[in-house]
Structure 1
């Protein structure tokens, strides 16, 4: 992407949510900001400061802000409680702003941090919300939180809930609705706080998505109608620059040296390897793990399987570790990674042709950008929405399993899908190749749609300062 707003050294406060799926793309966006002349202060917990190190070592335009009380809410139980606990940072941030010799002209914060809308208002600066997920997810989320869904057939997890006000009228099973909306606890302080924050996102001065117009134009337009303005920017896919593809610590260090993974892949034919990963948080239940292992064994495909190291070897656990003897039986056909995997590097290798994924948004974008055929296996959160976008609307993926942790795929069907995914016979493969080109063009420096949105965003941020003073403060 080309430089923009070169004469506008705006200073912003960036506040990511401390979760891998949120903080990784947030920091990818931060990197774009500082390479284009912005000054960015990033509010991070002590445990995540190391993720800033590549930028800190190469630029003076970024500074970490680590507040003493940051870790006080990390032990809160459950997502609503964790989100509400982050508001303990309200007064410390307020004090930091007011004592700073050159305070930020705007706050960019994660979609889980909707309470920063009030903070920004008190400070007289605009707040921009960053969605690490897509515009379809944001549309469904807003609809659910604004009008909490109801199940007309209590006890029926397959009861259908539709959203006719959203383009293409998406429909979901009751079990696929966000659990915090489905089981909303009216009067509970944590749940009420979460809901008010999610609704506040649509009151923000600007909305930034890790998406691109060729992927979600109809939903980006829908968001503009909801917020009532055009300050909605799609700047994705947010990924490390291609010249840095290789060993990186983006999000963490790989549990296996990159050269070992690459050496194994180098020996395989083009598009012949299936990569399996369910993200940094999802753990397959034991029954699903057993069926997946059996399907990999029966299909005869070459594969890389990333499993969470903490879930291996836990006696009596309902979570699934690799079955005993599995690695010996598959031999050189399989490569097991326990712990963090360098996913972008693996997917970009010529030998990888298919991706069994939980459909987290980061994984979805990484799979699309790599041009691999995806087999969808959503487990929760926005993953059901992402899977429907891939399969039903874009036609670039195949359903492998759906319905979350309670559903177990059919062994014969999964075996067939794994074999077909690398055979080259599926029509989805040509469609994902076309979308791959669209994703790459979006971030092209010469007029890509995401490049244009990023440049407009930078221009707007630069316009917030004039002669060293914030302008139009009363509008925020």
Structure 2
């Protein structure tokens, strides 16, 4: 690998929000910064420490360190947000006791309170957006204008570079819970608005995908320390690195690869709804029937309670053309295989970037958060996806229509395949030497290395 290496190995603290969808991309960022010579400490909870195994096995213990802090007991997303505020004191104690403490903090956008912590420490904080650049503007706009009028059913974003509207219930789940005057929610509102006050911003995105928003973000932040460094993914044909990323697969690498290699190019449909999303029962049943009826080859990653509804009889009935994976699957490895032609996705940002980088048609099935807006962009703006269904209101798709969509998505004359491949080429080019994301990463390392 041909990287810019900084001379002084500047020490940086990376602080991900403790859910896999937020941890995985910031670990990918850590990998790139380590390859470029920085020294990295990653703040991690004991239950997520295992996710660092691929980094630990690749990089020297002299440059990669962990700060393991037990996370206060929390189960729901909101309770984790509340609990995160309690980590300020242990982080301060870490800085005070360290001989060579980090010169900057890069933290997830849900941890905007670390901007105040960084100010207290006298160091810069950079916000890491595990969502799109466009979504960062949407989030800032919504929190800036709370509370939304109760009678308002649509939210307009007319002053952003691409004017659009979203149904209120799709715009943001979190703001629907906002209680004006409540101490926690006022504190969290402040923490979200702190993101655009940060010293810098790092996006898991790339210029060919989102150049429309960069100048606007520079203006909103009041500086140009905005770095688009994605797609943050294992590069090249490193199957070992890709297979371990995000956790241990419940299926052996050789089993998955052998199964895929036995199928024709672009003939396999991959179905996965991310690390946290579970389909409602009726949607699960409709999806199962549509896959059966379509006759297409498919891999279906099934998690949680959905596993109960996919019986052994169903697996036997689709044997040979259907592979059911019950638990974590190596998504990057699967998507990059030439046999995979389409991807049924919940439209989480990580999955979108993985789908784009693999050059597969996406069939959108958003379930919450930013996924509805992401799906709309994939279909309407980028033209690299087709609508399959959507969650949130428990719509049950028509089995016949859905099965026909599956057949079309893996056909040789799939109408959007050319656009998909064009966008893939842009993603691949961005992370190569002299590509836009590679240059932004080098610029980020240079500026971090100059910190005192």
TM (normalized to structure 1)?
0.91
- Map of 1:3 onto structure 2: 3
- Map of 1:391 onto structure 2: 379
Conservation of the 8 A alpha-carbon contact between 1:24 and 1:250 = yes
- Map of 2:227 onto structure 1: 233
- Map of 1:188 onto structure 2: 182
Cα displacement (A) at 1:152:
6.0
Conservation of the 8 A alpha-carbon contact between 2:243 and 2:332 = no
> How many pairs are equivalent?
449
What does the per-residue CA deviation read over 1:41-87, in whole Å, with 9 as the maximum and x for residues that have no partner? 111111122222332233120101113xx23x2x3253233112112
- Map of 2:173 onto structure 1: 179
What does the per-residue CA deviation read over 1:193-226, in whole Å, with 9 as the maximum and x for residues that have no partner? 2211111111000000000010001122221121
> Is 1:61 paired with 2:63?
yes
- Map of 2:415 onto structure 1: 427
Distance in 1 (CA, whole Å) between partners of 2:238 and 2:378 is 27
Cα displacement (A) at 1:407:
1.6
Cα displacement (A) at 1:409:
1.6
The alignment partner of 1:242 has SS state of coil
Distance in 2 (CA, whole Å) between partners of 1:416 and 1:153 is 39
- Map of 1:458 onto structure 2: 445
Cα displacement (A) at 1:122:
0.4
The alignment partner of 1:233 has SS state of strand
- Map of 1:316 onto structure 2: none
The alignment partner of 2:380 has SS state of helix
**Which of 113, 116, 119 pairs up with 1:118?**
116
The alignment partner of 2:110 has SS state of coil
**Which of 302, 306, 319 pairs up with 2:301?**
306
- Map of 1:330 onto structure 2: 318
Structure 2, unaligned stretches of length 5 or more?
none
- Map of 1:20 onto structure 2: 20
Q: Which moved more, 1:406-415 or 1:385-394?
A: 406-415
Cα displacement (A) at 1:436:
0.4
Structure 1, unaligned stretches of length 5 or more?
314-320, 465-469, 471-476
Distance in 1 (CA, whole Å) between partners of 2:260 and 2:208 is 31
> Is 1:373 paired with 2:358?
no
- Map of 1:99 onto structure 2: 97
Cα displacement (A) at 1:4:
2.4
- Map of 2:435 onto structure 1: 448
Distance in 1 (CA, whole Å) between partners of 2:86 and 2:374 is 32
Distance in 1 (CA, whole Å) between partners of 2:305 and 2:211 is 40
Conservation of the 8 A alpha-carbon contact between 2:341 and 2:409 = yes
- Map of 1:266 onto structure 2: 261
The alignment partner of 1:43 has SS state of strand
Conservation of the 8 A alpha-carbon contact between 1:347 and 1:366 = yes
Q: Which moved more, 1:208-217 or 1:54-63?
A: 54-63
Conservation of the 8 A alpha-carbon contact between 1:117 and 1:201 = yes
Q: Which moved more, 1:363-372 or 1:39-48?
A: 39-48
Conservation of the 8 A alpha-carbon contact between 1:275 and 1:347 = yes
- Map of 2:406 onto structure 1: 418
Distance in 2 (CA, whole Å) between partners of 1:438 and 1:31 is 22
**Which of 191, 202, 212 pairs up with 2:196?**
202
- Map of 1:436 onto structure 2: 424
The alignment partner of 2:328 has SS state of coil
Distance in 1 (CA, whole Å) between partners of 2:124 and 2:111 is 14
TM (normalized to structure 2)?
0.96
Q: Which moved more, 1:269-278 or 1:302-311?
A: 302-311
Question: CA 1:79–1:193 in 2, change beyond 3 Å: closer, same or farther?
Answer: farther
- Map of 1:364 onto structure 2: 352
> Is 1:220 paired with 2:214?
yes
Conservation of the 8 A alpha-carbon contact between 2:54 and 2:245 = no
The alignment partner of 2:111 has SS state of coil
Question: CA 1:425–1:162 in 2, change beyond 3 Å: closer, same or farther?
Answer: farther
**Which of 275, 285, 302 pairs up with 1:280?**
275
The alignment partner of 1:112 has SS state of helix
Question: CA 1:343–1:311 in 2, change beyond 3 Å: closer, same or farther?
Answer: same
Conservation of the 8 A alpha-carbon contact between 1:128 and 1:204 = yes
Distance in 1 (CA, whole Å) between partners of 2:179 and 2:357 is 39
Conservation of the 8 A alpha-carbon contact between 2:279 and 2:306 = no
